[in-house]
Amino acid sequence: MNIAVAGVGYVGLVTAVCLAEQGHRVTCLDIDEEKIRLLRQGKCSIYESELEEMMDRNRDRLVYTTDGDEAYRWAEVIIISVGTPEKKDGSANLKYIHDVVRQIARSVERDCVIAVKSTVPVGTNDKLAQMLEDQLRDLRKDVRIRVVSNPEFLSQGTAVKDTLHASRIVLGAEDEQSVDVMKRLYESFNCPIVVTDRRSAEMIKYAANDFLALKISYMNEIANLCEIVGANVEDVAAGMGLDKRIGDRFLNAGIGYGGSCFPKDTKALHWLANYNDYELKTIKAAIEVNEAQKIRLMKKARKYFHSFSGLNIAILGVTFKPGTDDLREAPSLANIPFFLEDGARLQVWDPVGMDNLKKIYDGDLTYCASIEESLLNADACFIFTEWQEIKALDLRTYARLMKRPLVFDGRNCYAPEEAKAAGIRYESIGRSG
Ligand code: UGA
């Protein structure tokens, strides 16, 4: 099929390349000229394993452009995957989607289906359908554009696998024809397809993400209580996870969730409820717990040092999770300002996130080429991301290199007994020792 993808950020680019891999011809559109220039040279604009090779393999089926007419004119399906950033009040900013829809109305020359992958508040796709109808009437165009809600469930770091082996495809449509077109698009994907109305599809996306955020905040609270009463949260999670009704994933306690999705989507759903005179108490609690959890270890460290002034602090891992260079809402960013305000010297290491960190903190931090360099002479070490290199480190390295081997581990990378045996003073989440 002839596909256009509007907005080649994370979701858009992965979707485009995976659809090309399935044999579709895909035109990728973005307003960012630099990004399109890079893509045309075969360079992947995001950090995601397998994607660049897949782009290369399918280069004959992929076109990159900044020209809306070229992308939309003859497309059978137009996938919208532009950002819906958070506004100050927590609601989603729909400006970019509205711009795309206006351009589509001007450009299309044939009947087509718009599949909205961007995460949008419930009711948005109904409004977009109305908007399109009005615009086509004003433009006196005799084409039919149908709108389908088609939320995305991929995770950063495993995006290609999540797309090609999706747990489900959700189609929120108001007519049979558009469902048929979308089923044809996803014909070669072997996964369940949930067909529902547009509002339910939009809600599935928020409800799923917010449930996962809630699950993490719940485990973080249980972890905090474990510390108080002397239980071990990992054993508790293992014991809970064997119950199939609970499931064993997303039960890892830590220093809170980050990224471009959970923080934004929890606030957006909370905002939507408030806007409709309803309070989502569970989600409100999940948000509050997460904010406090992000700085929990830093607060614990204050028991060891009244101030961080003059200390050398090693920071291992800055991205919001391993497998990505993304720093958005990363717990590391909630902590770094406290250390700097006190006048600590920060020795930072991350395998891929440091370029993005340099865009935020230019000269203030020492960027280290290795974990060892970061630990050298440090008074304390904070682990904010569970990179494999950190987990695989010989624990004796801490005692060998640090001034004081004091480690605050926000991702439970080590067993407390082993850390103790290696001569480390070790603080982690939900475990004593
Ligand atoms: C999340 C969802 O998992 C995807 O299904 C969804 O499609 C995506 O948002 C989106 O809306 O686009 P992502 O933000 O890439 O994906 O990352 P996750 O792997 O879900 O991790 C989010 C955060 O939760 C990370 O900071 C991670 O460290 C934290 N987390 C995750 C925990 O603290 N504990 C866990 O057990 C799992």
Please give the full DSSP string across 280-301, using - where no structure is assigned: -HHHHHHHHHHHHHHTHHHHHH
Measure the CA–CA gap between 129 and 235, rounded to whole angstroms: 50
Atom of ligand 1 nearest to the CA of 331: 26
Tokens 């480690």, located at residue: 407
Identify the band that residue 96 occupies on the pLDDT scale cut at 50, 70 and 90.
Answer: very high
Mind listing the pLDDT tens digit for each residue in 359-409? 999 888 999 999 999 999 999 999 999 999 999 999 999 999 999 999 999
Contact in structure between 116 and 147 (CB atoms under 8 Å): yes
Bridge partners of 144?
none
Residue of the CA atom closest to atom 5 of ligand 1 = 153
Give, as one character, the DSSP assignment of residue 59.
G
Identify the band that residue 48 occupies on the pLDDT scale cut at 50, 70 and 90.
Answer: confident
Atom of ligand 1 nearest to the CA of 258: 26
Mind listing the pLDDT tens digit for each residue in 234-276? 999 999 999 999 999 999 999 999 999 999 999 999 999 999 9
- Return the ∠ at Cα 312 (arms to 311 and 315), rounded to 5°: 125
Q: When comparing pLDDT for 349 and 88, which is higher?
A: 349
pLDDT attached to residue 306: 87
Identify the band that residue 433 occupies on the pLDDT scale cut at 50, 70 and 90.
Answer: low
- Return the ∠ at Cα 362 (arms to 357 and 368), rounded to 5°: 65
- Second CATH level (architecture) for the domain 296-427: 3-Layer(aba) Sandwich (3.40)
296-427 shares the fold of 2-196: yes
Q: Is 320 in the pocket of ligand 1 (CB under 6 A)?
A: yes
Q: Is 156 in the pocket of ligand 1 (CB under 6 A)?
A: yes
Atom of ligand 1 nearest to the CA of 329: 26
Which residues have a Cβ under 8 Å from the Cβ of 37 and sit 6 or more positions away? none
Q: Is 234 in the pocket of ligand 1 (CB under 6 A)?
A: no
The CA dihedral of 313, 319, 325, 327, to the nearest 10 degrees, is -100
Nearest in space to 331 (alpha carbons), one of 346, 321, 339: 321
Active-site residue, 44 included? no
Residue ranges covered by each domain of the chain: 2-196, 205-294, 296-427
Q: Is 262 in the pocket of ligand 1 (CB under 6 A)?
A: yes
Contact in structure between 408 and 300 (CB atoms under 8 Å): yes
Measure the CA–CA gap between 353 and 325, rounded to whole angstroms: 4
Residue 151 three-state SS: coil
* Catalytic option among 28, 112, 261, 413: 261
**pTM value > 0.80:** yes
Q: How far is the CA of 209 from the centre of ligand 1 (A)?
A: 8
Average pLDDT over residues 199-205: 98
Measure the CA–CA gap between 140 and 307, rounded to whole angstroms: 68
Measure the CA–CA gap between 102 and 134, rounded to whole angstroms: 10
Q: Is 209 in the pocket of ligand 1 (CB under 6 A)?
A: yes
**CATH number of the domain at 205-294, out of 1.10.1040.10, 3.40.630.10, 1.20.1730.10, 3.40.50.300?**
1.10.1040.10
Tokens 């989502």, located at residue: 280
**CATH 3.40.50.720 correct for 2-196:** yes
